[in-house]
Structure 1
Amino acid sequence: MLNNIDMRNWMGDLLPGTCTLIDVTLPGTHDSGAYYFINDEVDKHNKRWEPIIEGLRTGAYANIIARVGYSKLVGTIAGWGKAQSMRLVNQFERGIRYVDLRVMRSQKTGKLHFCHGLVGEEAAVGLEEIAGFLRHTRREVVIVDLVLLDFQPRDYDEMAGIIDRTVAPLLAPVDHILSKTLGEITAAGSRLFLMCNDDKLKDSGGDQRIGRSRANAGYFETNSPDTLEKKAADHLSRAAAARDGLSGMQWILTPTQDDIVAGVKNMINPISATQDLRWLNGKCAGRLRSFLNARYAVRCNLIVTDFFEDSDAVDIAIARNFGEFWTDGVTRNKEGGWTGRIEAPAGRLPSGIEVKQQARYGITNARLLFNDGNGAVSESGWTCGNQESQDNRSRCFPGEAITKVQIKEQGGYGIVDLRFWTASGKESGWLAGNPDGGEHAVVTLDGLALTGLQGREQGRYGLVDMRFGFTNTKAHG
């Protein structure tokens, strides 16, 4: 389903106007404005950074910092502070629809800027990018969560003026997040929800359509992927039960002071790969899909990440809107590379699978079969271009939906066999009849039907791993 989607217009192109925002899943970014920094000015309003910086300058590492210079410390802060790799407009063009922006006044420029560890883009420039994106799309909706750091009276006045000059014509009342359908929101032309928990912004003459945050995405301060999974699971189950806001989760890892110290030491005397926020969040990026697949029935309106492109967060979020879920690779074999996804056309579900088997190489290709019960069988494309073998094996159950798949893997040879089951319990048997290899766990998402597959191909050795797409049959039809 996600192949060939225009990410600039995915909401308008794909979501029905009868949905409300509480019925959909939006991909979002954390510290969305931290994509670059303008100078070495430290974000002193951030309660995390100031004690760490002072501790490094005056504590046990003071001599090290003094010897290598303050610039090394600033470089480390930049690595841990940078949370995104793209400007706001590029994030939106890649499908992001929720952003989290921290704003402070720079002592060096005298202007209001985004920040996270260091001082970044001017807030006025960032908000104009948001306005520009919405002006050039027709039915996209964007949510902005604004955090104002240590604002003084003149800061509120200036922020209100920036909002008035940039995004004001596009603002929708925040209360409409829960009460209006997407059709009603887009018909009115006001497609930006600006949330801010600092009421002084409105009290100082700010736009009255600004409202307190309706997002309950949670923040789990941990640098451990295992702890993140546990806390996110607990939070999501609680937040999803309430209907008074948008539920969701921030799938991010947070550095400790020890992490940052290790980064400083590594910068001074490199002994490993660069240790920064992207490196840290790489430890949890690959777990996002399996975590959410295990909770496919739980409402999750926001999936918020650092370096969103590292985790397939956008694809995962958009797919949830249509009841579509892709598993992780079954064998986790890292050889070769993933081929393109094979997906069922709209309104159809596969009722069979066909594979190519080649002696000494196992299964070299696979595709889906369709038979709606009318006697005619049609096929999808093959997962890859390998057509060397003519030994095709298949099984098809007319009018049935496939709900379970299992593969066999033989060390050094990749996938050597595959079998599947239908919703009524019919089993295909092992298609290739290969007695070798070990069986992997059955792949299934209870209540969902198979809708796609993807292979990982290693040269002439055939398929070494597979991923499977499942869908809610009602959403798919």
Structure 2
Amino acid sequence: MAEKVPADWMGSLGPGLSALPLANLAIPGSHDSFSFWVDEESPIGADQAASVRRLARIALVKKLIKKWSVTQSLTFKEQLESGIRYFDLRVSSRADEAGEEIYFLHGLFGMKVRDGLTAINTFLRHHGREVVFLDFNHFYAMTHGHHTRLIDMLQEIFGSKLGTAEHVENVTLQSLWKKGVQVLVFYHSGLSRECAFLWPGRTMPAPWANTTSVQELLRFLESALSERSKLSTFHVSQAILTPRLHTVLRGFKAGLKDTLVHRNLPIILSWIKSQKPGIKGVNIITSDFVELVDFAEAVIGLNNLLLEDETPTAQS
């Protein structure tokens, strides 16, 4: 059984690591982080093709979409307690509701964004040296009013914990601790220019392999890392496989976890364990179903390689 990752693992890092740029550290993240719960009774989201939305009038189709929309089993609280610090967030309004409420979305609607952010903030209140990355990278059916509501919500919930956007290479755990900052928000919208605590989406690139082949995925991840040193940004290695229509049809009853994830995660984990963090190496790594293997432990453990670089060679 994998050793439990301390809920305060960032706060426990020594000065050799906490003084390094966060972009140089290995940090575990989750893909479609909110999808541990989706509402089978909700309408099909705007992230799906019109043809899928029409088919969803058939009850069985919604059950199928749910099986392939859920990519996590752990709640936000459980993910945080297991070491996850990067969250992949996709949000939307609901056409069947009046008002400005905003929900998480992956095929079907998930929980209200406010409830998810509040759960994250509750964890941070009790773990004052932990830092999270909130990556709002997909927006659906969002008017300017919805964006304004979401930005106000972030400020209301996190307050002084929010970190102002700055040069990525200047951001270390030590610098954030001094300022009491625990939340970095990445906002893939031009509205990021209107608010100091919204980091532009370009500072958090997350290239996507879009493949069902684990070998093709690993080649893609390596290629993306080879380009990384040219950019002064954070970097997300999306260590995930993406189902195609034929994948869904073949695994109709099984769903994503049993069809793609279970059999390929050990191979992906081996690749992770062979990596090294740093400006030319891995930074944030995301996975589906983060609890299935010792994913978070393996990613966090890579940081020990950076300490080895600082160990002086013994004199003969």
TM-score with structure 1 setting the length:
0.59
Q: Does 1:216 pair with 2:205?
A: yes
Specify the code of the residue in structure 2 equivalent to 1:303.
I
Which has a greater percent of helix? Answer: 2
Aligned in 2, Cα 1:296/1:94: closer, same or farther, shift over 3 Å? same
TM-aligned CA deviation for residue 323 of structure 1: 1.5
Structure 2 residue aligned with 1:314: 296
Task: For residues 105-144 of structure 1, give each alpha carbon's deviation from its aligned partner in whole angstroms, at most 9, with x where no partner exists.
Answer: 1233442100101000100011111211111112111111
Q: Does 1:131 pair with 2:107?
A: no
> RCO higher in 1 or 2 (8 Å CA, sep ≥ 6)?
2
Structure 1 residue aligned with 2:12: 13
Structure 1 residue aligned with 2:65: 77
Q: 2:156 and 2:97 mapped to 1: Cα distance?
A: 20
TM-aligned CA deviation for residue 158 of structure 1: 1.6
Specify the code of the residue in structure 2 equivalent to 1:135.
R
Specify the code of the residue in structure 2 equivalent to 1:311.
V
Picking from 214, 224, 228, the partner of 1:235 is 224
Aligned positions, number? 305
Gaps of 5+ in 2: none
Q: Does 1:36 pair with 2:37?
A: yes
TM-aligned CA deviation for residue 248 of structure 1: 3.5
Q: Does 1:104 pair with 2:92?
A: yes
Aligned in 2, Cα 1:52/1:280: closer, same or farther, shift over 3 Å? farther
Which has a greater percent of strand? Answer: 1
Q: 1:246 and 1:473 mapped to 2: Cα distance?
A: 22
Match of 2:28, SS state, is: strand
Could you say what the CA RMSD is over the residues aligned between the two structures, in angstroms? 2.7
TM-aligned CA deviation for residue 277 of structure 1: 4.4
Q: 2:147 and 2:242 mapped to 1: Cα distance?
A: 29
TM-aligned CA deviation for residue 77 of structure 1: 0.3
Q: 1:76 and 1:20 mapped to 2: Cα distance?
A: 43
Task: For residues 11-47 of structure 1, give each alpha carbon's deviation from its aligned partner in whole angstroms, at most 9, with x where no partner exists.
Answer: 111242312202211000111111101343344321x
Structure 2 residue aligned with 1:281: 261
After TM superposition, what 4+ stretches of structure 1 lie above 4 angstroms from structure 2?
2-5
Q: 1:313 and 1:103 mapped to 2: Cα distance?
A: 26
Task: For residues 435-476 of structure 1, give each alpha carbon's deviation from its aligned partner in whole angstroms, at most 9, with x where no partner exists.
Answer: xxxxxxxxxxxxxxxxxxxxxxxxxxxxxxxxxxxx76939x
Structure 1 residue aligned with 2:282: 300
Larger Rg: 1
Picking from 78, 83, 96, the partner of 1:90 is 78
Q: Does 1:225 pair with 2:226?
A: no
TM-score with structure 2 setting the length:
0.87
Q: 1:285 and 1:26 mapped to 2: Cα distance?
A: 18
Gaps of 5+ in 1: 58-64, 268-273, 325-346, 348-470
Task: For residues 373-418 of structure 1, give each alpha carbon's deviation from its aligned partner in whole angstroms, at most 9, with x where no partner exists.
Answer: xxxxxxxxxxxxxxxxxxxxxxxxxxxxxxxxxxxxxxxxxxxxxx
Specify the code of the residue in structure 2 equivalent to 1:276.
L
Q: Does 1:474 pair with 2:311?
A: yes
Aligned in 2, Cα 1:258/1:3: closer, same or farther, shift over 3 Å? closer
Task: For residues 356-375 of structure 1, give each alpha carbon's deviation from its aligned partner in whole angstroms, at most 9, with x where no partner exists.
Answer: xxxxxxxxxxxxxxxxxxxx
Q: How does 1:55-204 map to 2 (within 5 A)?
A: 57=55, 70-110=58-98, 111-147=101-137, 148-175=139-166, 177-200=168-191, 203=194
Contact 1:78 1:118 in 2 (8 A): yes
